[in-house]
Structure 1
């Protein structure tokens, strides 16, 4: 949801949503997934900016220059393994660069909504600070990040980063940040329940019609089992409605971001599908107004067949709710017209000196942008008994992507074949970020989804029309 790809550490009930601003496990591990195709989906190419950065290349950090930088989003003490990995990475980095001192700053969540905006406005952020992808454009527009364009030409894998991710950190032909992780939405399903319902767990549904049919069969198992669940409260219903709209080829706002676009055939299709599963098929159960905290334990206890999810839900279901890795599969979004993506990264305090920016980029290259090191040190994560093999994050293209995949495969400790459908993806899928003013829009759309799921006689036409008027007002006031 707000800044949907926010990733922090060991959060029991979070996924790629923005409501709680505490995001995915930093240990999410990836296959070379459909997001490798994101390169074809960027709204603009990074080539021109990359050429400009090379032309404006400046000298690297002098190894005799002593530099100290503060870096945000160190894992909290409660996440012992992840914090140890971070601290060990800092030690290894400082051995390579003895002139650079990393001063780690922990926080939970990393981008705390209670303090983030105030710290930005007051210029109190770390030299290298953590951001959600959906916040980057506003930060750039407000002049709250340093231009790093001329500093990145020496980053080894810069040219192989997903263009769509880099574009998020660009404005006016300049670069203001670097990505850390990414995610896309898919369909998480219970393989065990699929088998019990006579369905093939290696052939998950690919359309919403198939989801409806499979959910009906799973619900017929009885014993309180629900075939399909969806969110409809806490802004999470609006967030999932957005993902479902993208999967149908629809949109939430017009391309210029000035008008609502969900009162459309695709919007009607999303709601009518939910209406049918809830009231005609009875495959969604009687309990509604669900949020992620309700759905994850349902999946872990074997009482739920399917729900929309990012890959990070799988280790959460296992670690926090005693589920079993082998019970879960992951498939692409039904209908395959599009999927919601998110992620996170780092930007630089504009008060930072050139040497601090250079040092910070060296750290980000080591920790976030190098296969086999930092967040991609899958060998160490396997030793630390962290999950290795989930599809995502995947921020590279080309040779670095292949190298990272090979290292991941060598150290995988998960049933990766269960995620094959998701990992293989479809090169034609459009990868879409959240709409502008996402949280306000989601609050409106929550009411639409919850009405459909709690009122048998809900009027879809009226609901969408009224929501359209409200969202148009939100967008007009944001200009």
Structure 2
């Protein structure tokens, strides 16, 4: 009996040492740590670390720059070495949770009083079998970033109010708009821009899964649903419906008439080309608008951001975002520490002094980096949080002509649509293989979508039964 008790005590001690690390403290690995080249960001994170460890001396914060990809995630998950908290995409939680890699944080978040303060739509993305597995950092919606200088050169806009900034919406009569509001107008504007300036009207991304990702928004506008559920609640692929084919043929028409750049267009291409005035319009999320400044050297007053145009099937904004998820292979104590650290990053519903300081420091760092500061899609809805954010926006949002962005933000609550839910990244990969071939004159869209339909349906049956 004594031997059993001794063995139990040794097991407990080993477990505690594993949980607490060499320092005797509970180690919390923050996977969102900035890359080493981002010295301003690292200094900011170190400040947050010092504050947290002073208030919670039982913890040790360890920074790691973990960039999510499916391949990188599985390498770490299979070896059970995931950071305590890491960022991913809203397409991934279903896969991560079903694989047993994410910690159930329902009780911790409820005890902190955060559960009911979370945006219900974002919370739903992270809830499985009525249990919560993540915390949203923010959301984004796809829109179209416009180079106003190119629009002006094409004779499409002017400086209506004389403030030195071209107006894509009449500031005195906001119902008057000078941007494409339908898919047909998106084509027509591109045609006018190419004819009047020689500049490509639009960029279509077509590699690294970005082509499939953005194509899905076009497909919805044409009335397609890329995944459907039958009467028996079985999920099926729906990549080759008439509406899906029509949307893909619409994109092909841009290539057929030389309105888009030819070649493999990856995610960095849109920001560089738009910033350099090589294209007039690019689809991107509102969370990366600053890329045209940091990557393309664009003047902030030359930027507008407009809604995705409507199509015959309606008007939709692909709505995604970045959630924080927590390793199933870490202790409950470490995960609780990681969740509490979000307050010290200004990424919680709390409005404490440390939370407010972190929010301001983030905005001040962005200002020093010459980033464009616009309102975020807020992950929390409690009144004290939204009031604070309104106050910070009034102080730090640095867009002089906000009417060139306003329609996107006003329409987002009504147009946002969740990404297709099952094995979305693989679906995007398959659709990429169609989009990248649109440049070929004799390419058969329907035949290609038929083959991708078969491949994705087979994959769904393999994964879901």
Pairwise TM-score range, normalised by the shorter structure: 0.7 to 0.9
> 1:94, 1:101 within 8 Å by CA — same for their partners in 2?
yes
* Structure-2-length-normalised TM-score: 0.80
Aligned residue number for residue 207 of structure 1: 182
Contact conserved, 1:206 with 1:334, CA < 8 A, in 2? yes
Preserved contact between residue 81 and residue 384 of structure 1 (Cα < 8 Å): no
Please give the alpha-carbon distance, in whole angstroms, between the structure 2 residues aligned to 1:261 and 1:329.
Answer: 34
Q: Does 1:365 align with 2:343?
A: yes
> Does the Cα contact within 8 Å between 1:155 and 1:365 map onto a contact in 2?
no
* Residues 1:346 and 2:346 are matched in the alignment: no
1:100 aligned onto 2:56 = no
Number of the residue aligned with 2:411: 425
Classify the secondary structure of the residue corresponding to 1:447.
helix
Distance 1:391 1:295 in 2: 22
How far did residue 375 of structure 1 move?
A: 5.2
Measure the CA separation in 2 of the matches of 1:198 and 1:112.
42
Paired position in structure 1 for 2:143:
186
In 1: Cα distance, 2:118 partner to 2:361 partner: 18
Deviation of 1:114 after TM superposition, in Å, equals 4.7
Name the CA distance, whole Å, in 2 between partners of 1:376 and 1:167: 29
List alignment gaps of at least 5 residues for structure 2: 1-23, 158-167, 170-176
Answer yes or no: is the 8 Å Cα contact 1:229–1:284 preserved in 2.
yes
CA drift of 1:363 comes to 1.1
**Of the two, which has the highest radius of gyration?**
2
Q: For the aligned residues, what is the CA RMSD?
A: 2.6
CA contact (8 A) 1:249 1:337 kept: no
| Contact 1:93–1:366 under 8 Å retained in 2 | yes
Structure scoring higher RCO (CA < 8 A, sep ≥ 6) equals 1
Structure 2 partner of 1:23: none
Paired residue secondary structure (1:428): helix
In the TM superposition, 1:46-85 aligns within 5 A as 67-85=26-44
Counterpart of 2:269 in structure 1 is 294
In structure 2, distance between residues paired with 1:274 and 1:354: 48
d(CA) in 1 for partners of 2:208 and 2:289?
22
Q: After TM superposition, give the deviation of residue 72 of structure 1 in Å.
A: 1.6
CA distance 1:288–1:112, change in 2 (3 Å): closer
Aligned twin of 2:308: 333
Aligned residues: 409
Q: Out of 400, 403, 426, which is 2:388 matched to? A: 403
2:365 to 367, 373, 381: 381
1:245 aligns with 2:245: no
Q: TM-score, normalised by structure 1?
A: 0.78
Residue-by-residue CA offset, 1:273-311 (whole Å, 9 max, x unaligned) = 22333324x3225x2432233332221111211121112
